[in-house]
Structure 1
Amino acid sequence: MTTETFVTERLAVARPVRWNPLTRIAFRFCFLYFGLFCLLTPPIVFELTGPLGRQLGSGAQFWHIRKLQSFLDWVGREVFGTGVQLYSTGVGDQAIFWVLLFCILVVAVAGTAVWSVLDRRRTQYRTLAGWFLLVIRILLAGQLLSFGFAKAIPTQMPEPSLTTLLTEYGDFTPMAVLWSQVGVSRPYEMLLGAAEITAAILLLIPRTALLGALLALIDTLQIVVLNMTFDVPEKISSTHLLLMSLLLLAPEARRLTRVLLLNRAAGPSAVPYPFHTARSRRIVAVIQVALGIWIAVAAVHGGWHAWRTGGPDRPKPALYGIWSVSEYTRDGHPVPPLTTDETRWKTVIFDYPDTFTFQRMDDTLVTVPADVDAASRRIRLIEGPPKYRPMTKTVEARNPLGTLSFQQPDTDRAVLTGELDGHQVTLTLDRIDQDSFPQRSTSFRWVQNRPNF
């Protein structure tokens, strides 16, 4: 900071500019609305807990929602005609969160009206605005760090699974299309994460906060567009992160207009800041950077754990891969591969240790929980519904299916024997080269004479 800028800001503090009535009302509303939103929306403040939050578990961030469950359910029934409850899916656009958002809006509007009447003689809120914008900036940076490392360590949109490779494109939801599109290109996903991490770092350094807010605006705008156009159920949080970016830029609107549109000198910053001495600014800057490191440590640890358990080097089940059922015998009789037969299997997929996927002759994919014991070479298909797999179209299987033993004469051939639905079966499996799929086999090329469709 130059001496001229420092003196200018001190003079601004000494002779504060009178805010017009609309600015004062807008600030009161934003202070109440975004303050309540950040406090009551689970992930916003929770990110500041850093590694401590990882120890508490993801359920800790929803404790206050559970406390408000009865009240929000009452509001949902009385105002919108439907009850609401909290689901443990991690989805941010649940009905209960929309009802919560409605309550926040009502309280903010009513609070603004009362505040405006009781505090009508106040001419400005520069000190309070300085603290408010500082907190908003830190919270926005925390969210971008979390989002960024989930992509920089490419686990948010993982590489398409083996089941995904066999799923027909028409069976994908728009969100599944987006996740597969990004997941198929790790460099692209990592660059998206790098942009979000860069914006967060710039936001946490006071000297570069304006540049960070501009980059955060671009990052969050892209997130909002993708969430809206691909129906990703995080529209509430992403839209508010975009609004928080605009909130940080609002005091700089005049300077940005002069530089970007009028090609003139920017002039001194009008952003209120609660610290005015050089020493206090340095101390707070160090604290902000330390807080960013604290959040980043948790994000990196979580991302690395997700990479080890869900990345390419994750634990894989015995017989990992895609297998074609070349022969199917039931109770000693061969079963021909007829597309009208709903009981014969066409393909078997071993992708995750706790699941088993098979494809029927009509190409329907069925995923069921499984216990694969490599030591005893047994596969137990467990009763109960299959695990939630958002990327593919999952069909409920009739349970219990049975228990199978497997033998593997060579790497490209396996035999399953045992009981399925009360019948003795023998399945001969031939490995399908997973790298034969274009998503796995198509490499980058500088020279191409035709489109890669």
Structure 2
Amino acid sequence: MSVRTVGTATDFDDLSPEQNREWRPALRILFRFVIAYFTLFCVFYPQPLFAFFGILQKWLPDDLLQKYADLPGPLVRWTGRTVFDHPGVHLNLDSGSGDQLYLWIEVFCILIAAVLVTAVWSVLDRRRAEYRTAAGWFLLFFRVMLAGQMLNYGFAKAIPLQMPVPGLATLVQPYGEFSHMAVLWNQVGVSPVYESLLGLAEITGGLLLLLPRTQVAGALLSLVSMAQVWVLNMTFDVPVKLLAFHLLLLSMVLLAPDARRLTTALLGGAAGPSTVPTPFRTRRSRRISDIALVVLALWFVLGQAVGAWDGWHKYGPGRPQSELYGIWNVTEFTRDGQSVPPLLTDETRWRRMVFDDPGVAIYQRMDDGMVPVLTEFDSGAHRLTLRAPSGSEALASLTYERPASDRLTLTGELEGHPVTLALTLVDSDRMPIRQGGLHLVQDYANGVK
């Protein structure tokens, strides 16, 4: 019997005997578990479904995504309290961490639920010989979920926002004080072109998953990209390990039906047509599905592009800067009329001030400790007010003068003491980290003379 294919999927009406045969019991049980587990993960774990909101996220209530993500909250909190003896676990979408205790307990709940669903499903549906149609629907669902995440990851890097160019405060912070994650973030951020190329690879993987006839190529590229992301997360302690690992597994699930064919092709043999199941039996239904996936790809791209464009204006190179933008070395520090010498043991004397973002400044103590403060400028009166991050009582009220473009004088009161600070602007563009670029001819490695 011949095998007739349309796109990358075999027609159900003309299956080969090998494709039409009964699935082994172990394979049927594994299929039920995989479907149950990853469906629950994609639906309830924060983020996979968020891509569907697209540009609508700009107008959605701020707490809507939090409420949706916390739907399994009662079960998660009960499990945390009862099973793991961790009362009061909660989810914070603004924490920047995808490895919160809440999420680990949620994944544990998903695992237990998937085992129970598999057991009940196996009993009730024990006479079913195969699940090709169901597999087609679920694989399509997983493709869309993975594609949304690949595009989300990709646009955050293609328009280099996820790992931004190191800020001014980073340039004066001792390397030994960086966390592993900060090292990775600054390593990638210092080369926006490299970051954009990483993002373009992930965008390509997402689009190939959605475009007709390229789903296997998309799954392969997603597998490689997510393997890299997961390894980096594990080795640099980036708190998105849980999600990255599941996206890696989803890529493998999508490739599983074609594992034998891919192995044959990689070993130099003739691979033949794809055997990935499809839920669509007619040419017309497949064409409608292809069009719908292309439209969905455009919707995803539009939402991610608009979000990245907004982020570029807010956080990119053209973002608003502080009125006193720059790194300023404190050359003279006078308190209560007495000059304070620059002793490394003096935790009250300032070594530097860094003005980068409009509403925040950082002063560096003599021991290199970095202290962020909120800033309020009165440009007309040349007055600067510094407050603690909590925004409580003012720490300092100072007037500022710039007798020259690279000179700054601050005079006023700091924590109840009259002070005068003389500062000199550092030419940050002359720092080696800001003098990168491509040098095709190099007689010595960078930094070696």
> What interval of TM-score do these two structures reach, taking the shorter chain for normalisation?
over 0.9
Shift of 1:247: 0.4
Q: Check if 1:27 corresponds to 2:27.
A: no
Task: State the match for 2:82 in structure 1.
Answer: 78
Q: Is the 8 A contact 1:401 1:420 kept in 2?
A: yes
* Equivalent-residue separation in structure 2 for 1:266 and 1:95 (angstroms): 44
C-alpha separation in 2, matches of 1:362 and 1:267: 67
**Against the structure 1 CA distance between its residues 67 and 247, is the aligned structure 2 distance closer, same or farther, given a 3 Å change threshold?**
closer
1:130 aligns with 2:136: yes
* CA deviation profile, 1:168-214 (whole Å, cap 9, x unmatched): 11100000000000000011000000000111111111201111111
1:264 aligned to which of 266, 269, 276: 269
Match of 1:393 in 2: none
CA 1:80/1:229 → structure 2, altered by over 3 Å: closer, same or farther? same
Q: 2:423 — aligned with what?
A: 429
Moved over 6 A (4+): none
Mapped to 1, the partners of 2:196 and 2:229 lie a distance apart of: 15
Judge conservation of contact 2:151–2:202 (CA < 8 Å) in 1: yes
CA contact (8 A) 2:157 2:195 kept: yes
Query: 365-374 or 172-181, which moves further after superposition?
Result: 365-374
After TM superposition, give the deviation of residue 276 of structure 1 in Å.
Answer: 2.6
Correspondence 1:419 to 2:413: yes
Which whole-Å CA distance do the structure 2 matches of 1:31 and 1:376 have between them? 65
Work out the CA distance in 1 between the residues paired with 2:16 and 2:263: 24
Out of 285, 288, 293, the position equivalent to 2:293 is 288
2:254 equivalent in structure 1: 248
The unaligned stretches of length 5 or more in structure 2 are none
State the Cα deviation string for residues 334-380 of structure 1 (Å, max 9, x = none): 22222222111111100111111111112111112222333432221
- TM-score between both structures, scaled by the size of structure 2: 0.94
C-alpha distance in 1, partners of 2:261/2:177? 49
Q: Cα offset for 1:136? A: 0.4
* 2:4 match: secondary structure: helix
Counterpart Cα distance in 2 of 1:20 and 1:235: 33
* Residues 1:332 and 1:346: Cα distance change in structure 2 (over 3 Å): same
Q: Is the 8 A contact 1:329 1:426 kept in 2?
A: yes
Moved more, 84-93 or 239-248: 84-93
Post-superposition Cα deviations, 1:12-62, rounded to whole Å, max 9, x if no partner, equal 299832111111111100111000000001110111111112321564222
Q: Does 1:184 align with 2:190?
A: yes
Is 1:276 aligned to residue 270 of structure 2?
Answer: no
Q: Distance in 1 between matches of 2:281 and 2:434?
A: 57
Provide the residue aligned with 1:392 in structure 2. Answer: none
Distance 1:372 1:294 in 2: 42
In 1, Cα distance between equivalents of 2:155 and 2:389: 35
Are the counterparts in 2 of residues 47 and 53 from structure 1 also a CA contact under 8 Å? no
- Mapped to 1, the partners of 2:21 and 2:384 lie a distance apart of 74
Q: Does 1:40 align with 2:34?
A: no
SS in 2 for 1:207: coil
Contact (CA 8 Å) 2:165, 2:186: kept in 1 or not? yes
> In structure 1, what is the Cα distance between the partners aligned to 2:301 and 2:181?
27
Q: CA deviation at 1:418?
A: 1.3
Using the TM superposition, name which of 236-245 and 293-302 deviates more: 293-302
Alignment of 1:225 with 2:228, yes or no, is: no
User: Does the residue aligned with 1:369 lie in a helix, a strand or coil?
Assistant: strand
State the identity %.
50
Deviations 1:39-90 (A, max 9, x none): 0011101111111123215642221343433432221121112121122313
1:343 corresponding residue in structure 2: 348
In structure 1, how many angstroms separate the alpha carbons of the residues matched to 2:437 and 2:265? 43
The correspondence for 1:364, drawn from 350, 361, 369, is 369
The two structures have a TM-score, normalised by structure 1, of 0.93
Distance 1:280-1:8 versus aligned 2 partners, 3 A rule? closer
Secondary structure, counterpart of 1:428 in structure 2: strand
Match in the other structure for 2:311 = 306
Contact 2:313/2:319 (CA < 8 Å) preserved in 1?
yes
The structure-2 alpha-carbon separation of the partners of 1:316 and 1:124, relative to structure 1 and needing over 3 Å to count, comes to same
Mapped to 2, the partners of 1:355 and 1:175 lie a distance apart of 23
Q: Which residue of 2 aligns with 1:395?
A: none
Question: Could you tell me which of 419, 429, 435 is aligned with 1:441?
Answer: 435
- Compared CA separation, residues 399 and 364, structure 1 to 2 (3 A): farther
1:54–1:298: 8 Å Cα contact kept in structure 2? no
Q: In 1, Cα distance between the equivalents of 2:335 and 2:304?
A: 51
Q: Using the alignment, how far apart are the partners of 2:208 and 2:164 within structure 1?
A: 27
- 451 and 58 in structure 1: CA distance in 2 versus 1, 3 angstrom threshold: farther
User: Structure 1 235/252 Cα, relative in aligned 2: closer, same or farther at 3 Å?
Assistant: same
SS at the partner of 1:258?
helix
The residue aligned with 1:4 is: 4
What pairs up with 1:323-342 in 2 under 5 angstroms? 323-342=328-347
Superposition pairs of residues 110-189 of structure 1, within 5 angstroms: 110-189=116-195
Gaps (5+ residues) in structure 1? 387-397
Pairwise CA distance, 1:8 = 5.4
Q: Which moved more, 1:47-56 or 1:342-351?
A: 47-56
Q: Residues of 1 paired with 2:214 and 2:437: CA distance? A: 39
Q: 1:277 to 1:177 in 2, by over 3 A?
A: same
CA spacing shift, 1:146–1:174, aligned 2, 3 Å:
same
SS of 1:450 mapped into structure 2: coil
Structure 1 residues 384, 434: closer, same or farther in 2, change over 3 A?
closer
- The answer as to whether partners of 2:3 and 2:14 remain within 8 angstroms in 1 is no
Read off the aligned partner of 1:443 and give its amino acid letter: G
Kept in 1: contact 2:258–2:274 (CA 8 A) = yes
**Does the CA-based 8 Å contact 1:355-1:370 persist in structure 2?**
yes
What secondary structure is seen at the aligned counterpart in 1 of 2:399? strand
CA spacing shift, 1:292–1:322, aligned 2, 3 Å: same
Q: Counterpart of 1:450?
A: 444
Q: Which residue of 1 aligns with 2:320?
A: 315
| Deviations, residues 83-124 of structure 1 (Å, cap 9, x unaligned) | 211223131110000000000000000110111011100001
Partner of 1:292, secondary structure, is helix
1:206 aligns to what SS in structure 2?
Answer: coil
Q: Deviations over 1:246-271 (max 9, x none)?
A: 0000000111111112x221122211
- What letter matches 2:344 in structure 1? T
- Does the CA-based 8 Å contact 2:3-2:15 persist in structure 1? no
Aligned residues: 440
Give the 3 Å change call, closer, same or farther, for CA 48–431 of structure 1 in structure 2.
same
Aligned equivalents of 1:94, 1:309: Cα separation in 2? 27
Check conservation: 1:357, 1:368, Cα contact below 8 A.
Answer: yes
Conservation of the 8 A alpha-carbon contact between 2:136 and 2:277? yes
